[in-house]
């Protein structure tokens, strides 16, 4: 079988027993540590598809139910693949496919305004009730910050908001732009706790509607405005610009233009904070299954290409921080909650949809645990002196309760946010 030949001698951790559509059994891997998984393929066409396009075909086969996991579960299977990913991708055939995909990346990630609207609708205009099944109560749909091992998802998401607010160095009366504001949670947090005005923008009809409803319910209409608008269509100047989980939707061809717009929207003494998924390797392309089914047009940029775009924008990079395993823990909690509410998700959509989201959430967790994914926070300014010379302000400007919540304790120097 072609797929078995692709994996032969490349599974060094764990063991995969594969029963093909002809009933033949292939045992791959050794006796070393790692998951023991048995899968059954029920569609003969998978023999060829899994060999030619494994990154796409594995997810599709699980969605369609033609790849059945008979021993272990999906987490075990993806853990097995993830633990051996470097060796698998070292296969000449897989590496060739990755290189060909890389050659097409500028076309795949070209996101004019009309396409960005369509791509955002594909993912974010799902039923709001669906997102309530696995997100925290504030609907934070980005990497949380686990300051302590025992932090709940709600606490970790609150930690993240407090950390971002500290890096923005907010003062009462300032005007903040939130690019990609989601369901409005960060905008509401900043307005409530820092006495600032916030303009949030999103391209999602569903997100904008709920965010506006939340603003009204909180009685903050005088301080929070939600606009259905693309950042490229926005005018004005803002004291602070924040963007959480939106850079991944910009696409490599638009990175330089994005940072030029951020610089143009920022006041002369302003500060921006960009929070994004990134990759711990050179520029590449988005996993084909993720691009087709989850985030069309999406791309997690490498720091090298991100910083090159910043350097041409007129902005100074004043601080950078890498969060490594925080998103793996966030995704694990989302998966736990999704599984606990799986029947409700199935009632909203169908079994194929549930399988797709299981594969997405667990696959992304494995990418953060074993692959090339991380999260970075970049603090940017138009002037070098807009930010203090040391990071002590992160604790000095935060109330004592906020310092503890964000994991900074009460000492003069905060611990690394990258520590898990």
- 239 in Cβ contact with 231 (< 8 Å): no
Indicate the helix (H) or strand (E) that contains 176: strand 175-179
Token digits of residue 334 = 């989302």
Q: What is the DSSP string of 47-116?
A: HHHHHH-HHHHHHHHHHHT-EEEEES-HHHHHHHHHHTHHHHHTSHHHHHHHHHHHHTHHHHT---HHHH
Cα 375 to Cα 372: distance, rounded to the nearest angstrom? 10
**Separation between Cα atoms, residue 240 and residue 35, nearest integer Å:** 47
One of 143, 181, 354, 364 is an active-site residue; which one? 364
Geometric angle at alpha carbon 123, from 120 and 126, rounded to 5°: 115
Give the span between the Cα atoms of 375 and 331, in whole angstroms. Answer: 13
Closest Cα partner for 41 from 55, 26, 56?
26
For residue 320, what is the enclosing H or E element?
strand 316-323
Sheet holding 197-202, edge to edge: 224-228, 197-202, 175-179, 238-244, 266-279, 373-381, 316-323
Are 16 and 32 in contact by the 8 Å Cβ rule? The answer is no
Calpha distance 253→404 (Å, rounded): 40
**Active-site residue, 354 included:** no
**CA 375/CA 384 separation, integer angstroms:** 24
Q: Say how many C-beta atoms besides its own lie within 10 A of residue 15's C-beta.
A: 17
Question: What three-state secondary structure class fits 323?
Answer: strand
Phi, psi of 417 (to 5 degrees): -75, -10
Tokens of residue 185, six digits:
């949670």
- Which active-site residues does the annotation give? 364
């Amino acid at each position: 079988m072609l797929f078995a030949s692709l994996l032969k001698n490349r599974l060094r951790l764990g063991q995969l027993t594969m029963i093909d559509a002809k009933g033949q059994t292939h045992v791959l891997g050794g006796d070393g540590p790692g998951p023991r998984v048995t899968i059954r393929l029920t569609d003969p066409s998978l023999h060829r598809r899994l060999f030619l396009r494994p990154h796409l075909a594995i997810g599709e086969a699980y969605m369609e139910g033609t790849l059945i996991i008979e021993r272990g579960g999906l987490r075990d299977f993806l853990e097995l693949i993830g633990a051996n990913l470097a060796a698998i991708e070292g296969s000449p055939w897989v590496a060739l496919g990755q290189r060909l995909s890389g050659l097409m990346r500028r076309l795949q990630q070209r996101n004019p305004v009309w396409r960005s609207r369509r791509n955002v609708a594909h993912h974010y205009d799902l039923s709001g009730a669906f997102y309530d099944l696995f997100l925290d109560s504030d609907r934070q749909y980005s990497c949380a910050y686990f300051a302590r091992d025992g932090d709940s998802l709600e606490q970790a998401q609150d930690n993240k908001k407090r950390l971002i607010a500290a890096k923005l160095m907010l003062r009462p009366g300032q005007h903040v732009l939130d690019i990609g504001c989601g369901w409005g949670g960060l905008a509401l947090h900043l307005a409530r706790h820092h006495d600032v005005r916030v303009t949030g923008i999103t391209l999602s009809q569903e997100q904008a509607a709920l965010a506006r409803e939340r603003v009204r319910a909180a009685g903050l209409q005088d301080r929070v405005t939600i606009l259905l608008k693309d950042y490229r269509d926005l005018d004005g100047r803002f004291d602070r610009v924040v963007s959480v989980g939106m850079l991944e939707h910009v696409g490599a061809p638009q990175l330089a233009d994005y940072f030029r717009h951020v610089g143009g929207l920022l006041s002369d003494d302003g500060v921006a904070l960009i929070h994004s998924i990134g990759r711990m390797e050179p520029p590449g392309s988005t996993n084909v299954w993720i691009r087709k089914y989850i985030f069309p047009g999406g791309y997690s940029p490498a720091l090298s290409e991100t910083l090159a775009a910043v350097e041409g924008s007129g902005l100074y990079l004043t601080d950078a921080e890498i969060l490594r395993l925080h998103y793996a823990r966030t995704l694990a909690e989302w998966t736990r909650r999704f599984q606990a509410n799986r029947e409700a998700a199935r009632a909203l959509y169908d079994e194929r949809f549930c399988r797709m989201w299981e594969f997405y959430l667990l696959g992304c967790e494995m990418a953060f645990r074993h692959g090339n994914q991380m999260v970075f926070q970049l603090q940017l300014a138009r002037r070098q002196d807009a930010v203090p010379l040391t990071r002590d302000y992160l604790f000095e400007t935060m109330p004592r309760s906020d310092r503890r919540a964000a994991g900074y304790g009460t000492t003069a120097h905060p611990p690394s946010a990258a520590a898990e």
